[in-house]
Amino acid sequence: MPGKRVVVTGLGALTPIGLDIPSFWQGLMDGKSGADWIKGFDADKFRTRFACELKDFQVENYIDKKEARRMDPFCQYSIISADQAIADSEINLETVDRLRFGVVMGSGIGGLQTFYQEVRDFSLGDGTPRFNPFFIPKMIIDIAPGHISIKYGLKGPNYSSVSACATASNCIIDAFMLIRSGYADLMLCGGSEAAVNQAGIGGFNAMKALSERNDDPKTASRPFDKDRDGFVLGEGAGCLLLEDYDHAIARGAKIYAELSGVGLSADAHHITAPAPDGEGARNVMKSVIQDAGIRPEQVDYINVHGTSTPLGDIAETLAIKSVFGEHAKNINISSTKSMTGHLLGAAGAIEAIASILAIHHGRIPPTINHFTDDPECDLNYTFIHPVDREVKFAISNTFGFGGHNTSLLFSKL
């Protein structure tokens, strides 16, 4: 689709394997597992007692304590990742038109901890309706971009998109469309999640979506391994600063990569399970390749959705084979969820960042925790170790409950 070119000029990430971009990338290169026993609450009675929580995170190192108390953790994470992206971009906010600078940040679940705590406190009380006056503004998903815009005086488009685990990628796509259409010059975009709590673990356990490998948490996230048994819940945030190419060149910005195309599709199949033949994933990858105006055989790397679920990994493998044919085996593929866990509404952002950094550094992140080959998963998943390779074109896939499918295609400038 013709329009403005869109580039990435700033990155921010708060993840279970690193609390900023350099440490996140180093964690990926080291094949670091972010999984461990849950420390945020007593999980002894849950079927899953581990997750990928943020390590050594103290909110007061980033946000004033009084302000932080008025925010759910998902909102705190969102603001911190946006702060990092702004700093990384080295943009002078005094010289840009803030009416053309917006924010699209989402969350798959939003203020789940706030909701759980407030309702629990009420149910344990005497029935008198006593609720924190910040209950609603702490919980609602759109409050995160609201806080970011207020902090920086950004008066362009400001909202959230929500599509479960595809949320962050949908937010990136929305921001991309706004710049490509000429409606904005700069957009902060991505997603955050803070669902490692009683309601999050209990709810996903009830769905039988989580790994229950309590005997070996560090290796529980096993994308494409024959013995995979579900995903590992993660938390954190990722934020990209997208910018009109001409605007970025005019200010002498550092450019990581170009966002050359986007793809959207729906499975129209089931509320949680993927289409078994990978139809939705196939359609969305075809769409992103067409939108970017490249040939399938030009794709070097795919950061797959790769959740470590029995059905999902096979469906995505089938989709890749269908789209790329013989070239599928020449593509380096990896699931960084093997290290970070599944960050739900933040997954698309941190995985887009991993894809961008693969282009920037010429290195493919690995898929760790591989022990047993699955004959139905027979592509080049870059197991165990990173691989040096020039990456000119990279795809990041993210899929969500409800059958939402997104693909982002980044290219080297």
Whether 269 is catalytic = no
Beta bridge partners of 302: 333, 395
Active site residue: 75, 165, 171, 377, which one? 165
Active site residue: 342, 360, 370, 404, which one? 342
What is the spatial distance between Cα 230 and Cα 221, in angstroms, rounded to a whole number? 7
Whether 342 is catalytic = yes
DSSP letters for 131-156? --TTHHHHH-TTHHHHHHHHHHT--S
Active site residue: 147, 171, 239, 305, which one? 305
Contact status, residue 74 vs residue 139, Cβ threshold 8 Å = no
Contact status, residue 292 vs residue 261, Cβ threshold 8 Å = yes
Q: Where are the beta strands (DSSP E) in 245-392?
A: 257-266, 301-303, 332-334, 363-364, 387-388
Residues in contact with 150: Cβ distance below 8 Å, sequence separation at least 6, in sequence order: none
What is the spatial distance between Cα 413 and Cα 8, in angstroms, rounded to a whole number? 11
Whether 247 is catalytic = no
C-alpha torsion sign, points 43, 49, 54, 55: positive
Which residues form the catalytic set? 165, 305, 342
